[in-house]
Amino acid sequence: MMDTPAEDDASAGAFSSGGDGWRFAGALTLDDAARVFAASNAVALPASGVVDFSAMTRADSSALAIVIALKRRAAAEGRTLSIQGVPASLHSLAVVYGVDNLLA
């Protein structure tokens, strides 16, 4: 596990590593974005390049910012990152912002 949400906030989300990919579970909103971003930067990108968001329970534009930051980091490291399991609400935000191509 990369990050453990505060015990008093059960809805706060975190990335975990399993196998050779990452999985995000819980909420990713403005309240959690800085913590989640710092935790993701503290570890190597997933070996498989796969980041799964299918267990995300709530998201706002901060979640989209985290996805974009992960993609930028991967590009800077000469890696590719595959974003999977994106909730419909997050995909809708990406369409509105014109960055839905980054969710591939």
pLDDT per residue as tens digits for the range 31-51: 999 999 999 999 999 999 999
Structural domains for the chain: 14-103 (3.30.750.24)
Q: Report whether pLDDT(8) > 70.
A: no
pLDDT digits (tens, 9 = 90+) for 48-69: 999 999 999 999 999 999 999 9
Which alpha helices (DSSP H) does the chain contain, by range? 30-41, 61-76, 88-97
User: What pLDDT does 19 receive?
Assistant: 82
Contact 64, 97 (CB under 8 A): yes
Note the pTM of the prediction, 2 decimals: 0.85
User: What pLDDT does 5 receive?
Assistant: 42
Contact 65, 98 (CB under 8 A): no
CA geometry: angle at 19 spanning 17 and 22, to 5°? 35
